[in-house]
Amino acid sequence: MGLLLYRFDVNVRSSLVLGLVGAGGIGFLINQSIKLFRFDQMLTHILVVLVLIVAVDQLSAAVRRRLGSGS
């Protein structure tokens, strides 16, 4: 379970980087917002990424605590 959560976290972060180099996804949207000088949209996309990463971290920590206390 720990490995699954780790890989999910890595994949979420990697998808952002891949999008920034043109592979699509939210990173692509951030890149397009920068090119079009739509900084309000860029900030919104970055906040979505931040919320997603924090949510994944919190979920991961909660699952780890639950698995650790069950032993």
Q: What is the pLDDT of residues 2-15, one digit of tens each?
A: 788 788 878 878 87
3-state SS string for the chain? CHHHHHHHHHHHHHHHHHHHHHHCCHHHHHHHHHHCCCHHHHHHHHHHHHHHHHHHHHHHHHHHHHHHHCC
| pLDDT over 70 at 71, yes or no | no
Q: What is the pLDDT of residues 19-33, one digit of tens each?
A: 778 777 788 888 899
pTM score above 0.75: no
